[in-house]
Homo-oligomer: A and B are copies of this chain.
Amino acid sequence: MGLDSRKQRVLQAIVDDYIATAEPVGSRTIARKYRLGVSSATIRNEMSDLEEMGYLEQPHTSAGRVPSDLGYRFYVDRLMAPFSLSPDQVERVVRMYRTRVREIEHLVQATARVLSESTSYLALVLGPQFGQAQVQSIHLLPISESQAMLVLVTSAAFSGHKFIEIPPGTQPDDLLHISRTLNTALAGLTLDEVNAAAWRELNQELRRYRTVVEQVVYVLEQMGIDEGTERMYTGGTTNILALPEFRDVEKARTVLGILEDARHVHELLHTDQAGLTISIGEENRLAEAKECSVVSATYQVGDKASGRIAVLGPRRMNYAQVVSIVRLVEKILSESLARSVC
B residues near A252, Cβ cutoff 8 Å = 241, 249, 252
What string of 1s and 0s marks CB contacts (under 8 Å) between A234-251 and chain B?
011110011000110100
* Residue A73 is within 8 A (CB to CB) of chain B in the complex: no
Interface of A is mostly: mixed
Known: A252-B249, A252-B252. A141 touches B139 (CB 8 A): yes
Within 8 Å by CB of A238, from B161, B236, B246, B253, lies B253
Stretch from A35-43, A189-197, A254-262 forming part of the interface with B: A254-262
Known: A241-B252, A249-B241, A249-B249. A153 touches B159 (CB 8 A): no
* Residue A137 is within 8 A (CB to CB) of chain B in the complex: yes
What string of 1s and 0s marks CB contacts (under 8 Å) between A40-84 and chain B?
000000000000000000000000000000000000000000000
Whether B163 and A161, one on each chain, are in contact in the complex, defined by CB atoms closer than 8 angstroms, is no
Q: Cα distance A34–B141 when bound, in Å?
A: 66
Q: Measured between C-beta atoms, what is the minimum distance from A260 to chain B in Å?
A: 6
Q: Cα distance A143–B157 when bound, in Å?
A: 12
* Residue A102 is within 8 A (CB to CB) of chain B in the complex: yes
Within 8 Å by CB of A237, from B102, B151, B236, B237, lies B237
Chosen A-B contacts, 17 in total, with CB atoms closer than 8 Å, are A102-B163, A136-B143, A137-B141, A139-B141, A143-B153, A149-B159, A151-B151, A151-B161, A237-B237, A238-B253, A241-B249, A241-B252, A241-B253, A241-B256, A246-B249, A249-B249, A249-B252
